[in-house]
Amino acid sequence: MSFLTYFINGLSLGSIYAIIALGYTMVYGIAKMLNFAHGDFIMVGCYVIFTIVATMGLPPVAGIVVAIILCTLLGVTTEKVAYKPLRNAGSPLAVLITAIGVSYLLQNAALLIFGADTKAFTPVITWQGIVLADGALKIQGVTIITIVVSVLILVCLQTFINKTKAGQAMLAVAEDKGAASLMGIDVNKTISLTFAIGSALAAIAGALMCSAYPSLTPYTGAMPGIKAFVAAVLGGIGSIPGAMIGGLILGIIEILGKTYVSSQLSDAIVFGILVVVLLVKPTGILGKNIQEKV
């Protein structure tokens, strides 16, 4: 029974990774860039919620809504100011380094405003959860909600992309920017929308993450951001179901590895899995193989 508990915890952690990875994978697929600052958007979302709930004493729902709005604005603005001018810079490294700069900027701004000390995050989810099998299996409320939310997000995103015009435009831009713009698709708008969705997802992930692991520092978002990126690559970057699968696998392996193998080596195990998967399938689990034309 304890295995099941750990497994469900892994599923919950994996769901958080999956939500972050969805944002990563969309931005990568459509804007063709690694947004290294994506993890720090999570941190920003967490601090917004913290400020509104703990400092101003407003209800958690208000915190989440404001966090989503602010993160969306932050994502769109960052793209416009820092990334868009470098879209045709000739080297993908230019925008990567700029994203690293944005990541430093957000972390240090948070450091200035909130200080380096760990803030005890007020969980926005207060539901105690359920007890099964006469108390042998206890599942926390935040765990259940995290899993449910991530599934909901996946379904909504899939529907949005496959059924709406804006979603189809995203697919077109992901396939070929030039051709899409010739077809009358506003590429700039589509990329902005992608950043908006990705950043909103980061805010939601932040709320869930800090509810499950209630401690907050300016560097809170960095490692989950990297791991979510690993998840996105694991699942096949650019693929939405891939990000979901990658996130879940990563979360489960991390928790089980920590419990049954070694708590110190759990990160090594997580990254080791990525290495093994990419060696067997170099484009990730659901990634497409593209061959260079000669």
Partner 1 sequence: MKAGRFSKKELTTYAIVVAAYIICEILMLTGIMSSHMKGLLVPICYYAIVAVGLNLCVGILGELSLGHAGFMCVGAYSSALFSYVTESAIPTAPRFIIALVIGVVMAALAGFLIGIPVLRLKGDYLAIVTLAFGEIIKNIFNAIYLGTDSTGLHFSLKDMASMGMEPGGKIIINGAQGITGTPSDSNFTIAIVILLVSLFVVQNLVSSRDGRAIMAIRDNRIAAESNGINITKYKMLAFTISAAIAGASGVLFAHNISSLTATSQYFGYNASIMFLVYVVLGGIGNIRGSMIAAVILYMLPELLRGLSDYRMLIYSVVLIVMMLVNWSPKAREFREKHLSFLKIKKEAK
Contacts with partner 1, residue ranges (CB under 8 A)? 28, 34, 36, 82, 85-86, 88-91, 93-94, 96-98, 100-102, 104-105, 108-109, 111-112, 222, 226, 229-230, 233, 237, 262, 264-265, 267-268, 271-272, 274-275, 278-279, 282-284, 292, 294
Nearest-approach distance from CB 176 to partner 1, in angstroms = 18
What's the closest the beta carbon of residue 108 comes to partner 1, in angstroms?
4
**Owner of token pair 């699968």:** 245
Q: How many CA atoms lie within 13 A of 27 on its CB side?
A: 35
The residue (of 201 and 234) whose beta carbon lies closer to partner 1 is: 234
> Closer CB to partner 1, residue 134 or residue 260?
260
**What is the smallest separation between the CB atom of 212 and partner 1, expressed in angstroms?**
22
* CB 205, CB 254: distance < 8 Å: no
- Nearer to partner 1 by Cβ, of 83 and 149: the residue is 83
Q: How far is the CB of 229 from partner 1 (least distance, A)?
A: 7
Q: Cβ of residue 135: shortest distance to partner 1, in angstroms?
A: 32
Question: Residue 115 Cβ, how far from partner 1 at the closest point, in Å?
Answer: 10
Q: Which is nearer to partner 1, 81 or 155 (CB)?
A: 81
Residue linked to tokens 């995290």: 146
Q: How far is the CB of 165 from partner 1 (least distance, A)?
A: 29
| Residue number with CB closer to partner 1 (10 or 257) | 257
For residues 151 and 26, give the distance between their C-alpha atoms in angstroms, rounded to a whole number.
Answer: 17
- Which residue, 2 or 88, has its beta carbon nearer to partner 1? 88
Give me the phi and psi of 138, to 5 degrees please.
-110, 125
Strand partners, 131: 138
Q: Please identify, using beta-carbon distances, which residue of 2 and 263 lies nearer to partner 1.
A: 263
Question: Min. distance of Cβ 63 from partner 1 in angstroms?
Answer: 25
Our CB check for partner 1 shows the closer of 58 and 109 to be 109
Rounded CA-CA distance 69/146 in Å is 20
